[in-house]
Structure 1
């Protein structure tokens, strides 16, 4: 069973568990802050855009990275991706091949990113740079890794979920922050607020006070479709499954029931039999996220059958002011040339 973030992290007021863990959080805060303040140990030969977030858990980094790649290509650039490969077993730098690799090897995010360009998985991010250089990329989009000082960032975009913001505002383990907010905000170049919500509005105001550009974005269905009337059993193992379920509902999908799994969940034959059995006996269609579907790839037996009978709800990140983001990228390229 994968670890799940505690519920008290997302309450706006301090709770007893948060207060009880405050001494540990103070230690974590000091260590994480000191680490972030270290000078980078490596710099790429091309600009690096880092897509990170302030907190533990999903905020929309991967859809943002994919949208960035699309914008970069529209500017005539050849982007490539660098990722740690969370959830995968690869320990050495590896160029992702969707025909050879599965989520167990490279992680689900890497498989999604590989649809848009070259992807290198490398737990030691600087060690993955030569592979991207050989691939001929002229800009690198790094999925996560904002708090890691190993590689210099030319543009750091911090993605914030509008519905949850930074939770209770405490550093781990009292709250979801990966490092002190002030330290992170000082190293962010721009914020991306995804979706509506007062927590996101508060972060927008904080970003504006810190003099950081703030972009609004939302996740939209990639395709318009006729959902029909037969209800769905929606399942997901992502950071916030309720976001997926709510998105399906807003898109007009008839939802019969939902089933949430922990983030980056690896589906078993027992899970597959349960989901398929419910679909058959209750007259439900199965639907999941692109990330979950990636984790079902190259599966065998019951899990392969689950993939066969499951639909995918594809989404894309849409920015309210894409021109501002394009101008930030252009400015980065201008500053970096020649390097």
Structure 2
């Protein structure tokens, strides 16, 4: 069933449209409510440059590697995230200037990946973004990157919205994958469309002749474009799900495979597993004009 609904949201077929039509009125109501919320909310100014990296579509669109690429160029930066999939609650400091302070169950997979990828940055997770921003300021942050922040309309920020290269369903939730009406991207300072403003570069480590693809990401079929030869089976878990080492061992044995092929987001949850891992590493090539606009926003921010 999960596969059916993911296909309906991201790449609907003819047999999805009866359900899409049934859900269409709810999508319109939801979209209107989100637009009213955006128009009626007065964003708060926090006295520090805040760059939001977000999107309008649920699921992966490159936000994590984009935030990593952006943060790697900045000094005194703190990334603030919701920490999706974590087993903790409240405000948690994941890393401080590159020093990892908690494990992946406390941080969530994406936040841990950012923390491990950025030796000079700090990462905080919190449901309450405002309290996380205040903590970052107390600790001397010079600027903040708000991960998945476009719908945080209560915060004054510089908005970068990532847009997929191909969109097949423009409807808001629940009939489509959009969190708001697609035209609300007009509120962004930068709309970065994949294939134009940024490109994905995928590299692999430790490839083997026979591998089982195991992943817990949203819309996993998007990996198909990049998969190498040697995949003997594909196992998809819920987005942000945790893995059981014994079950993965059984998968390897069942298929007589030599390793598990996983994404970086999956790999951070397998660090203590004594299993052969092959890893897909995603990096974004981003137009320099985007970095220039961000630099100008930070330099022009009133002291």
Q: Which residue of 1 aligns with 2:107?
A: 106
Are 1:96 and 1:118, in contact at CA under 8 Å, matched by a contact in 2?
yes
Deviation of 1:34 after TM superposition, in Å, equals 1.4
The TM-score, its normalising length taken from structure 1, stands at 0.78
From 1, 24, 27, give the equivalent of 1:25: 27
Decide whether aligned partners of structure 1 residues 189 and 5 sit closer, same or farther in structure 2, where only a CA change above 3 A counts.
farther
1:51 to 47, 50, 53: 53
- Could you list the per-position Cα deviations for residues 203-237 of structure 1 after superposition, in whole angstroms to 9, with x for gaps in the alignment? xxxxxxxxxxxx521221357x684x623222211
5+ long unaligned stretches in structure 2: none
User: 1:160 and 1:4, CA in 2 relative to 1: closer, same or farther beyond 3 A?
Assistant: farther
Offset at 1:297? 4.1
Residue in 1 aligned with 2:215? Answer: 236
Structure 1 residue ranges without an equivalent (≥5): 196-214, 299-303
Q: CA deviation at 1:50?
A: 0.6
TM-score normalised according to structure 2 size: 0.87
Matched residue, 1:82: 80
Aligned pairs, number: 295
Indicate if the aligned counterparts of 2:93 and 2:101 stay in contact, CA closer than 8 A.
no
Instruction: Give per-residue Cα distances to partners, 1:147-166, cap 9 Å, x unaligned.
Output: 1212211x21111221x42x
Instruction: Identify if the C-alpha distance between structure 1 residues 38 and 191 changes in structure 2 by more than 3 Å, giving closer, same or farther.
Output: same
1:120 aligns with 2:121: no
Is the alpha carbon distance of 1:18 and 1:4 closer, same or farther for their aligned partners in structure 2, counting shifts above 3 Å?
A: closer
More strand by share: 2
Alignment RMSD: 2.6
For residues 89 and 233 of structure 1, the distance between their equivalents in structure 2, rounded to whole angstroms, comes to: 27
Q: Which runs of 4+ in 1 moved over 4 A?
A: 1-5
- Stretch moving more, 259-268 or 19-28: 259-268
* C-alpha distance 335-3 of structure 1, shift in aligned 2 (>3 A): farther
- Per-residue CA deviations over 1:9-43 (Å, capped at 9, x if unaligned) read 22388811111012211221121111222334532
In the alignment, which of 293, 307, 311 is matched to residue 278 of structure 2? Answer: 311
Equivalent position of 2:149 in the other structure: 145
